[in-house]
Structure 1
């Protein structure tokens, strides 16, 4: 079942099982996305990185991510919304997903649902469909409430995966705030000390927190975010390496080239040529 609502203030929310056939939704670069495989498998590329999802797996994507549906061998549900419908930044205290479910690195959140978790999300989808059939002046707000419930449920599932409980909730919130700050400042701030100062913590404390959560080091997080942006600019724009170097805040092209080679094992020109040689096959079902 497909449903889409566009509000007077350019808010957009949609739920569809045919996202791979919906060209307007695919072209909309403002959407946050939940992709949930409900049967079979789904092969996708996120920022040119291949990924194959199985039944009851969910990935969460920001408007920054470039999504390509490669092969549909089953059924999947896509739940999308933009910031004009529900702003996760402005309502961070309500859903606590910014910098956690939704973050700009190409290392996207991937959740495997238990039977109980899948059932809970199916219940929310059922409520969404019921509310989408009631066309009155309360519909928009009711759909916003259902969306919040879906986001919060996925946030809880992700927290359980990382072992976040009441005893370490505040600690993990520091980690999440670090991700948010990196998303905002990675172009001009590239040292852990920069973010430690903003969080009123020491770099060593941050490293210990990330280690305790089984996450890459804070410096690695910063580098991965810069790397993701560099790849997007190389893949999806015509900007020169020199222009990209300036956009990402490197002092010169040589510094950017060294960074990119260290992160990818390829030179900037090799990466761009190789990516553009690869053909994207048509979606099959």
Structure 2
């Protein structure tokens, strides 16, 4: 179900239903998503599979492909919205839709919940579903308040789990967020660490040192992995030729792109596409 408020969109749906009707749900492909996942509920995010031992929340950017692996289990809920409905860059950057939960270069954006946290989040989701049935004039604002409440609570949990309440490491996280956002904006055209070091007005060595404080991956790994992920998405979900994909990622020599992809995935683009 989707609520439409002029150009602003908000929706809530059972994740199993979302999967079963994926072809009819193309309208939310560009939406930002929050997914409540019950413990041991398997889910595939792009090309990685996860099954968590505890209830969890997953924060998904637009274009990321999600697929439940155990649709016989109940309780997984998907909340989705477009940026016109909610994106508070003008307010608190930390809980905006480009904040900690949505731009995180060093881990998949899961928030594992303890029993009390899970009950708290599920109560808010129940309130969301109830509000979706309302035709009241205040419905839009109520849904936005409930959505912000989930994001605020989740951001607080993430910071507590990473011990980032008030310590110096918090500044490093802010730097990582900035680097992550730059990679997301420019990975199609800028492929080297030096490119991003220039954007951040530091040396490549300093960039590597800063990223190394919290991430097991080097800046080069992060840039390379983002290019590979986009390559996989285009191979699996579009009919573009390998040459067209290479060109879209700013590789004029498609043979070089093929070597790059094969070296980093262990399979050629053509072989990878055949899997789908």
TM range (shorter): 0.7 to 0.9
Separation in structure 2 between the aligned mates of residue 258 and residue 104 of structure 1, nearest angstrom? 28
| Aligned twin of 1:138 | 138
Question: Unaligned 5+ residue runs, structure 2?
Answer: none
Separation in structure 1 between the aligned mates of residue 104 and residue 246 of structure 2, nearest angstrom? 18
8 Å Cα contact 2:56/2:118 also seen in 1: no
C-alpha change, 1:88 and 1:181, in structure 2 (3 Å) is farther
C-alpha change, 1:146 and 1:215, in structure 2 (3 Å) is farther
Matches of residues 195-206 of structure 1 in structure 2 within 5 Å? 195-206=196-207
Separation in structure 1 between the aligned mates of residue 27 and residue 69 of structure 2, nearest angstrom? 16
SS in 2 for 1:41: coil
8 Å Cα contact 2:89/2:96 also seen in 1: no
Structure 1 residues 113-165: Cα deviation after superposition (integer angstroms, max 9, x where no partner)? 12343243234335435654653322212211221221122223233343323
**Farther off after superposition, 85-94 or 147-156:** 85-94
**Farther off after superposition, 24-33 or 173-182:** 24-33
Matches of residues 66-77 of structure 1 in structure 2 within 5 Å? 66-72=65-71, 73-77=73-77
SS in 1 for 2:147: helix
Question: Does residue 178 in structure 1 map to residue 179 in structure 2?
Answer: yes
| Aligned twin of 1:8 | 6
> If the length of structure 1 is used for normalisation, what is the TM-score?
0.83
What is the aligned-residue RMSD (CA, Å)?
A: 2.6
Deviation at 1:224, TM superposition (A): 0.8
C-alpha change, 1:104 and 1:67, in structure 2 (3 Å) is farther
Count of residues in correspondence between the two structures: 270
Separation in structure 2 between the aligned mates of residue 56 and residue 98 of structure 1, nearest angstrom? 24
Deviation at 1:212, TM superposition (A): 1.7
Matches of residues 1-285 of structure 1 in structure 2 within 5 Å? 4-9=2-7, 11-17=8-14, 18-21=17-20, 23=22, 24-25=24-25, 28-38=28-38, 41-72=40-71, 73-87=73-87, 93=93, 95-98=95-98, 100-103=100-103, 108-129=108-129, 131-132=131-132, 135-167=135-167, 168-273=169-274, 275-276=275-276
Deviation at 1:201, TM superposition (A): 2.7
8 Å Cα contact 2:42/2:70 also seen in 1: yes
C-alpha change, 1:196 and 1:253, in structure 2 (3 Å) is same
Bigger share in strand: 1
Separation in structure 1 between the aligned mates of residue 30 and residue 91 of structure 2, nearest angstrom? 17
> If the length of structure 2 is used for normalisation, what is the TM-score?
0.85
SS in 1 for 2:267: coil
Tell which has more relative contact order, 1 or 2 (C-alpha 8 A, sep 6+): 1
8 Å Cα contact 2:235/2:273 also seen in 1: yes
Structure 1 residues 15-35: Cα deviation after superposition (integer angstroms, max 9, x where no partner)? 233534555446531222222
C-alpha change, 1:171 and 1:44, in structure 2 (3 Å) is closer
Separation in structure 2 between the aligned mates of residue 268 and residue 134 of structure 1, nearest angstrom? 48
